[in-house]
Amino acid sequence: MDKLINEFMKNRGFVLIGASANKEKYGNVILKMLSDADYKVIPINPKKDKIEGIDCYNNLESVPQDTPYINMVVPPKIGLKMVDSMKKKGCKIAWLQIGAESDELVESLKKAEIEVIYGGPCILVALRTVDYK
């Protein structure tokens, strides 16, 4: 899994499914911390146009480019509904944060030929502990 984490982090950009305007939620903390660390984070939230001053997309399909790296902070039931869209958008690696993972979602992603980071560590821990520049 370290190889996948290194590839994901060295890319310096990803889609964040479950971005939140609530500063207490991980969908906001991840967006802010990684944006502040010069990562290009593309937030997905169906109810917001901007979060933390960053343009937000309502869904994955509306992102204009392919999205090979996706970080998920949504419940697994929502993630399961997005697997087909992730495959169509060229997702190579999906990073499931704690609370976003389930055996069913991991298997569905693998069947779609998307590699999966799950079971920890959190992307925030990875950001603090390794230099990916």
Is residue 6 predicted with pLDDT exceeding 70? yes
Please give the tally of structural domains in the chain.
1
Condensed to tens digits (0 to 9), the pLDDT of residues 22-38 reads 999 999 999 999 999 99
- Other residues' Cβ atoms within 10 Å of the Cβ of residue 98: 12
- Other residues' Cβ atoms within 10 Å of the Cβ of residue 33: 15
Condensed to tens digits (0 to 9), the pLDDT of residues 75-132 reads 999 999 999 999 999 999 999 999 999 999 999 999 999 999 999 889 988 887 766 5
55: Cβ–Cβ under 8 A, 6 or more apart, which residues? 43, 49
- Which CATH number goes with the domain that contains 7? 3.40.50.720
Looking at residue 130, its pLDDT comes to: 62
Condensed to tens digits (0 to 9), the pLDDT of residues 39-90 reads 999 999 999 999 999 999 999 999 999 999 999 999 999 999 999 999 999 9
Could you tell me the residue range of the domain that residue 106 belongs to? 2-129
**pLDDT level of residue 133 (50, 70, 90 thresholds):** low
Its pTM stands at: 0.93
